[in-house]
Structure 1
C-alpha cells in the first residue's frame, strides 16, 4: 500500500514537471512581435499592469492612429481618465460581450471588417499572449502583432496563470469566436 502511494505521488510529480516544461514556451516565452505600423492598437482588459500605458505610448510613437481599450470594468477611475483624456489620436473604449478575450475578439473583428483594417497591434501580458493569439485568430483573419506589457509576476501568479490560461485554452478549443 505504501509503495503504491509513493508511486502515485511520484507519477503526479513527474506529470506536473512534464506539463510545466511543455507549457513553458506557451506561457513564459510566447511569440512576441515587434510593433509595426498598424490600423489600430487593441489593449485587452485585465490587470492594470502597464498595458494601458504601453498602448498609449505606441499610439504616441505613431504606430497607429487609434487605440481601442477593452473596458469590462464596472467602474475604474483609471479607465475613465484614459477613455475621456485628450489625445492626438483616437481613443475608443468598449465593453466586450462577453467580457472575455472572446468578446474582445468579436469586437476586433466587427470594427476591423467595418473599417477595412489589415493589421492590429494587441497589447496584453506574457501568460495571456498565446491564448489571446489563438482566440483572436479565430475571430479575425487579419494580421495581429502581439506585444507584451511584461509586468513582473510572482511565482504564485505564474502558477495561477498556468492553470487559468490552460483552462481558458480548453474552453476556447471547443468554442467558435
Structure 2
C-alpha cells in the first residue's frame, strides 16, 4: 500500500513538473496577447451586463462580492476588467493541457474555443458560482441556485463568447506556426 501511494504521489509530482515546464515555455507575448484580449473582450460583455440586465450587476453585485459598498460603477468596472484578464490567463494555462496544445494555435481552433469558453464560463460562473457568492454577501437581487433564467443565460453565453474571442484569437495569432 505504501509503494502504491508513493508511486501515485511521484506520478502527480511528475505531471505537475511537466505542466510547469510547459507553462514556462509559453512566450511572454502569448500571455500578454491573451491578457490584453481578455481586457478588451470584457468591455462589450460588461456593457451587455450593465445595460442588458435589469439588476445592477456591474455597479452593485461585483463590488458587494468583494466586500465593497455600492453601488459603485467604477469599482464594479475595475473588478469586471480584472476578472476578464484573470480568465484569459487561466485560458492560456488550460490550453497547455496536452490534448489541446496545438488546437488553440489556429484561428479556427481559437473561434471554436471561444464558444467553448463562453458556454463553460456561463455555466461555472453565471449559473453556479454567482448565485452562491451573491447570496453569501447579501446581494438583494440574488437569483435562485442554479440560475437557469432564460433567455438571460443565452444572453450570458453570447456575451461570454464575445468576451473570449479577443483572448483566444490573440493567443492563436502569437502561437500559430
Q: TM-score, normalised by structure 2?
A: 0.27
Bigger strand fraction: 1
Higher relative contact order (CA 8 A, sep 6+): 2
